[in-house]
Amino acid sequence: MSGSWVYKKGVGCEDNDGVMYERSKKTSLTYNKLVVICCVTLSALNTVLLLNCLYLHTNGWNLSELMNLLDLLFAALSWGSISFYLYTNGLSTDFQNLKFPFMLRVWWVFYFIVSCYRLLVDIALYKKQELVSVHILMFHVVAVSMGLFLCYSCLQKQGEGERIDQLEEPLLNGAESSAATSVQLDKAEGDDEVVTPFSNAGFLSHVSFSWMSSLIALGNEKILDSEDVPQVDNSDRAEKLFRIFRSRLEWDDGERRITTFKLIKALFFSVWRDIVLSTLFAFVYTISCYVAPYLMDTFVQYLNGQRQYKNEGAVLVTTFFIAKLVECQARRNWYFRLQKAGIGMRAVLVSMIYEKGLTLPCHSKQGHTSGEIINLMTVDAERISAFSWYMHDPWILVLQISLALLILYRSLGLGSIVAFGATFLVMLGNFPLAKLEEKFQGNLMESKDNRMKQTSEVLLNMRILKLQGWEMKFLSKILDLRRIEAGWLKKFVYNSAAISSVLWAAPSFVSATAFGSCMLLKIPLESGKIIAALATFRILQTPIYKLPDTISMIVQTKVSLDRIASFLCLDDLQQDGVERLPSGSSKMDVEVSNCAFSWDESSPIPTLRDINFTIPHGMNIAICGTVGSGKSSLLSSILGEVPKISGNLKVCGRKAYIAQSPWIQSGKVEENILFGKPMQREWYETVLEACSLNKDLEVLPFRDQTVIGERGINLSGGQKQRIQIARALYQNADIYLFDDPFSAVDAHTGSHLFKEVVLGLLRNKTVIYVTHQLEFLPEADLILVMKDGKITQAGKYNEILDSGTDFMELVGAHTDALAAVESYENGSASAQSTTSEENKVSNDDEKQEEDLATPRGQLVQEEEREKGKVGFTVYQKYMALAYGGALVPVILVVQILFQILNIGSNYWMAWVTPVSKDVKPPVSGSTLILVYVVLAIASSVCILVRAMLSAMTGFKIATELFNQMHFRIFRAPMSFFDATPIGRILNRASTDQSAVDLRLPSQFSNVVITAVNILGIIGVMGQVAWQVLIGFIPVIAACTWYRQYYISAARELARLSGISRSPLVQHFSETLSGITTIRSFDQEPRFRSDIMRLNDCYSRLRFHSISAMEWLCFRLDLLSTAAFALSLIILVSAPEGVINPGFAGLAVTYALNLNSLQATLIWTLCDLENKMISVERMLQYIDIPSEPSLVIESTRPEKSWPYHGEITICNLQVRYGPHLPMVLRGLTCTFPGGLKTGIVGRTGCGKSTLIQTLFRIVEPAAGEIRIDGINILTIGLHDLRSRLSIIPQDPTMFEGTVRSNLDPLEEYTDDQIWEALDKCQLGDEVRKKELKLDSTVSENGQNWSVGQRQLVCLGRVLLKRSKVLVLDEATASVDTATDNLIQETLRQHFSDCTVITIAHRISSVIDSDMVLLLDQGLIEEHDSPARLLEDKSSSFSKLVAEYTSSSDSRFKSSS
């Protein structure tokens, strides 16, 4: 070991960025050398003993001595042979990376077991003074130590070569396998990441956790950042573990029906080495724990003057000391290995859940919403990881009870049988409570899923909720779901408190029955035997105390495993639905013959039926039809997203897909366009130019390096769509599928995109595009007209124009719209233009000034993170949440009372029982037991009161924290949601809330219990021998210093690991929302590698966090063991008769737990501080700024306001944040009441920003808006937003029913709802459904088309009937015919209202009374359409001319 330490110190001085493979070889060589040294040492020791025996027995041998001689001769030769074999082979290069031979490993394990047995026999003989020589005892101590190291080497030593073989062989074979191995090694060599020192630490460094010292020292010098923390070892990376896990999971059977048992088995094999090592350490720890109780009676008798041999006191102290050293060493390594296994299991499960999410079809996901799937990752996987703490507890409890009964039988005889019966009764009594706990836990998790599902959906759609003034209604829904969850949480925590009370009372109950039975059986009770029994009960009480937590964790883990297993059993995406052919292998890019597709396979009517068409390479295919006719479903079918019922579908080549609702990742604009492909600058610039993105990039603060917020929050709808088109173009695929992407951009940009993209860059590609803009149809080589899930017409434009009514209806509606535009264009008017040149010039000046003064920064900032220790105010606020903290002192007093009663009962037994049989007891047996039972019952009552009060306090705090945080989140301004990825909020609502619900109350209780316990022990020891207290002073000082030294690094590691969870959640959430796009680009491998990287980031922070904890605890254990040894020396050195032997024995009994209690206290304090970071993070959100008041009583407008709807805007300036540029730069205009105003302008000019300012989603930086003379900045937000109506740019539906989507506030009757549905052309569609108004709407309205969702939004405003209506590109997702119907509906029902329309279709605004044209946040033109059209130089006139010429020319030429 010393050699290993010196060697590793030398390695540590080398460059830490060395080759991983070389490190592995060096580590293996070190182990081989140590093993050879051990074997040579054992051979030498056996030879020395053999020579010693020959010297002692020169006069002849009896049979026993001869057998002993032969045994030593055989052992010396065996170990010599093994040494020679290992020396010649084990130190060679070829052998370094291989495991030791199997038979050799079996021999070493067998030798260790035999050595342990021999040592126990030697100890027994030594006590009876029958041992021939003390050398044999010392030899067997050395043999056990070396046997233990050899067993450790069996499990620890595995070279990199075998690891790679094990991981790669199931996936590759033959030449490929060796090539893959070579690649792996090259990758390792090229890896610049600093790997954890743990991977190449020596034996002593492993034992003492010294490899963590450098990081903890760094944490004291500076505040740690993520970059300071090294990467986990290559064998612990998520990718490696996941491969092992998945191969084990899929080897079971061909069907891949994953049961909970198979999941457990695969998890075990993923981290088996750590689990097996921890089992070994746990076994050694348990054995070493019972050495002291076994010798306790001897120790008491020694203090009483009954000495069996010379130096017996020194031998006893040494034995106690060595046992405690072994105990603390084994415990630390046991805990470390288990937590390391837990981190590995979590990484594997997160990877598997993510992998399953990538393969789920949309119809399967409807059963598991995004919120539920994220919950599996954030809560269930985390819980299974936490279970690693409790993994060994069940079998350890059985072993401890067995050992305890053996010791009790030695002390109490048949009374121990009664003690066993009492212990069994306690265990049995917990089963009903455990069953209840499982039921409560299952229901708790289910209700948490429902809440998280609703929370996720609400956060995604917070903008629409605020626009409609619905946020408080949806908050009340989430609070209602939380109340259901809290009901189960309350039952769960009170049930846990009941279990805790029963088991905390168990040791007193068991000891009372044991002592009582001894009195009845006339077994004499002496203080030595009583103390030995009490020592046994005290050791036994730790696993019994832990039993409630263990039962709880087993139950919770089983529920989580069941949930994950059921999720993994969901059907994958249909793999054989589409026959995929490589590029160029077929003349036809798409062949569809007699196909039927259905989103719901159980539905009698397929979504699409009788689909037949073929598409040769390079064709331009257009798909058109009315809303809900199946256009998007047809594209999804080609992608393989819709289950195929019948027919054949072939797709040849790589695909690129542009979804109707843009999916944009958080990250830079450049990253979104490249989408995993390497940068080719020339092609990249070509794509930007084709997609008209250069002007937009100039406006963005960092051009294409600007970070886009979650879901593209800081981009307009048109910008998102064009980035999405650029992403598809950059991939240079064979087949392009466009799902109506031109609807989200203005007419000019749409025409440019169609010309440059579809007819330009993609002229030699196969393009299939869905469109509602019929002016793009004449350019198509083939047009497919759809209705009710069928292709009703197919052909070129001229061919199908006269062949059916469906296409004629669409063309007729478009022609009518064009005619309306032309009539305005040809009409005449003579009013003065309101455009002011002076105003325009001054605006331009302002623009230049703003550009100079605007601070430019990214919208999405890094997640906020507190620095330094968790402040006292955090604890204060936490405690004050429950009844102002009034119950905390009560809990403290009750716990102190329990400790006094508990110590008192044991003191009573030590005082009244005689030291030996010769001494008469001071009280009768019945009095002795009666007083003990009364004290035990009183202490049990204290336990019950403390447990219930703790549960009550924890529950109250969790409820208050949840309510306050959610209220502040819902009242936060929209800028908070724009700059905060949803993953950060969900992380607090799930993981942090879970810690507050279940973990923190028990952690606070544990701190109080342990602290009071330690004070009690010090009091007992000080009362027996006050000199002991002197030894405690330096030990406590050293412990305090160590904690202070450690906490700086540990705190930041805990914070960093908490923050590193958010990107995981966010990436998961983004992936689930964009899964169709990801699969269409075949980007699953890249996204898998991203989740692996994020997994490793979390794992390395968590791994070093738990390692830091073990580093501290190991040092505290050593200090406590030193204090314990000092106490024993003082007791043994005291003159006979000075110290009461019974009291001294009792003091030692209590002191046996001192090191574990002291380490537990420090660990719990540190873990509590780490867990309090969850509270700190939640309090951050309680302190976020709120929007202005919802209602201001002093300025509430009348119920009839607005009366006319006149909107006056004066010098309006708006920016999205203090560090962002101005978007609106001093607008001044008036929207007359009762008139229709159209707002037009190029994408990104500020149209949507103006609307958001009208609703005060964004507060103006300067200027004001008045509606009917009332300044909207002076009234409450609810009063404002509830009086205005809007149909937003992104149509939104919520999970629920049709009724709840139209009328969330439940203000209208069914008749009114039906009337609104009929007006918005959805009445017939809803009547077809079986449940009518109660028909289900899935998450985000996924079972409704985008056009239908837009019509539902129209239905909402028809119900509301406000005087001011805003249409924010409201008809972008519907066909022209439906658009005309909507416009007619609006004209009919909102004729006396102020209607503000933002539209890309000129036909939607051409009949407006006024037109406002914006350009880069400035008013360029504002007048009636007719007057603006008169001036042929006006921008609006040019826009209309371009629209009509492009559309009209195509139609006229076609006809």
Alpha-carbon gap, residue 853 to 849, rounded angstroms: 6
* Percent of the chain whose predicted confidence (pLDDT) is above 90: 2
Spatial strand order of the sheet with 608-616 comes to 579-581, 644-652, 588-597, 608-616
Q: What is the pLDDT of residue 813?
A: 57
Q: What is the pLDDT of residue 60?
A: 56
Q: Is residue 85 over pLDDT 70?
A: yes
* Percent of the chain whose predicted confidence (pLDDT) is above 70: 81
The upper half-sphere exposure of residue 303, i.e. CA atoms within 13 Å in the direction of its Cβ, equals 29
Beta strand segments in 1182-1341, E: 1207-1215, 1222-1231, 1236-1241, 1262-1267, 1270-1271, 1284-1287, 1296-1297, 1336-1337
Among residues 1058, 1078, 1057, 981, the alpha carbon closest in space to that of 355 is found at: 1078
- What confidence tier does 1446 reach under pLDDT thresholds 50, 70, 90? low
- What confidence tier does 977 reach under pLDDT thresholds 50, 70, 90? confident
Q: What is the pLDDT of residue 187?
A: 36
Q: What is the pLDDT of residue 91?
A: 54
Among residues 150, 162, 191, 169, the alpha carbon closest in space to that of 95 is found at: 162
Q: What is the pLDDT of residue 484?
A: 92
**Of 12-16, 749-753, 1173-1177, minimum mean pLDDT range:** 12-16
Q: Is residue 1025 over pLDDT 80?
A: no
Q: CB-based contacts of 1023: which residues, under 8 Å, 6+ apart?
A: 1143, 1147
Q: Is residue 1034 over pLDDT 60?
A: yes
Residue-wise pLDDT for 769-828, tens only, equals 888 777 788 888 888 888 888 888 888 877 777 666 666 666 655 555 555 555 554 543
Residue pair 1038/1118 in contact (Cβ under 8 Å)? The answer is no
- What confidence tier does 548 reach under pLDDT thresholds 50, 70, 90? low
3-state secondary structure of 1421: strand
CA separation, residue 1294 to residues 1098, 1241, 1309, 1352 (Å) = 33, 31, 20, 11
Q: CB-based contacts of 124: which residues, under 8 Å, 6+ apart?
A: none
Q: What is the pLDDT of residue 363?
A: 59
Q: Is residue 3 over pLDDT 80?
A: no
Q: What is the pLDDT of residue 1008?
A: 87
Phi-psi region at 712: left, alpha or beta (left = phi > 0; alpha = psi -120 to 50): left
Q: What is the pLDDT of residue 1062?
A: 77
Q: What average pLDDT does the structure give for the chain?
A: 77
Q: Is residue 362 over pLDDT 80?
A: no
- What confidence tier does 1040 reach under pLDDT thresholds 50, 70, 90? confident
Q: What is the pLDDT of residue 372?
A: 76
Residue pair 223/1055 in contact (Cβ under 8 Å)? The answer is no
Q: Is residue 192 over pLDDT 60?
A: no
Residue pair 1028/1021 in contact (Cβ under 8 Å)? The answer is yes
Q: Is residue 1293 over pLDDT 50?
A: yes
Q: What is the pLDDT of residue 479?
A: 92
* ∠ CA 1050-1053-1055, rounded to 5°: 110
Residue-wise pLDDT for 1222-1275, tens only, equals 888 888 898 888 888 888 877 667 887 888 888 888 888 888 899 888 888 888
Tokens of 142: 């050395």
Backbone phi, psi, residue 242, to 5°: -65, -40
* ∠ CA 595-598-603, rounded to 5°: 125
Among residues 264, 279, 266, the alpha carbon closest in space to that of 338 is found at: 279
- What confidence tier does 967 reach under pLDDT thresholds 50, 70, 90? very high
Alpha-carbon gap, residue 939 to 903, rounded angstroms: 10
The upper half-sphere exposure of residue 629, i.e. CA atoms within 13 Å in the direction of its Cβ, equals 24
Phi-psi region at 96: left, alpha or beta (left = phi > 0; alpha = psi -120 to 50): alpha
Per the model's pLDDT, the better-predicted residue between 1229 and 81 turns out to be 1229
Cα 1434 → chain centroid: 55
- What confidence tier does 23 reach under pLDDT thresholds 50, 70, 90? very low
Phi-psi region at 1238: left, alpha or beta (left = phi > 0; alpha = psi -120 to 50): beta
- What confidence tier does 1155 reach under pLDDT thresholds 50, 70, 90? low
**Of 13-17, 210-214, 831-835, 1195-1199, minimum mean pLDDT range:** 831-835
Looking at residue 493, what DSSP letter applies? H
Q: What is the pLDDT of residue 1068?
A: 85
Q: What is the pLDDT of residue 817?
A: 53
Spatial strand order of the sheet with 1207-1215 comes to 1222-1231, 1207-1215, 1262-1267, 1270-1271
Residue-wise pLDDT for 280-327, tens only, equals 899 988 888 888 788 777 777 777 767 766 777 788 888 888 888 888
Residue-wise pLDDT for 734-744, tens only, equals 899 988 877 76
Length of the chain: 1455
Alpha-carbon gap, residue 818 to 1447, rounded angstroms: 8
Q: Which pTM does this prediction carry? A: 0.65
Q: What is the pLDDT of residue 31?
A: 62
- What confidence tier does 465 reach under pLDDT thresholds 50, 70, 90? confident
Q: Is residue 927 over pLDDT 50?
A: yes
The mean pLDDT value for 634-661 works out to 87
Among residues 649, 656, 657, 658, the alpha carbon closest in space to that of 586 is found at: 649
3-state secondary structure 667-704: EEHHHHHHCCCCCCHHHHHHHHHHCCCHHHHHHCCCHH
Q: CB-based contacts of 521: which residues, under 8 Å, 6+ apart?
A: 413, 414, 415
Q: Is residue 10 over pLDDT 60?
A: no
Q: What is the pLDDT of residue 640?
A: 86
Q: What is the pLDDT of residue 747?
A: 66
Whether omega before 293 lies within 30 degrees of 0, making that bond cis, reads no
Residue-wise pLDDT for 708-744, tens only, equals 766 676 677 778 888 888 989 888 888 999 888 777 6
Q: Is residue 123 over pLDDT 80?
A: no
Alpha-carbon gap, residue 1143 to 1120, rounded angstroms: 21
Q: Is residue 905 over pLDDT 70?
A: yes
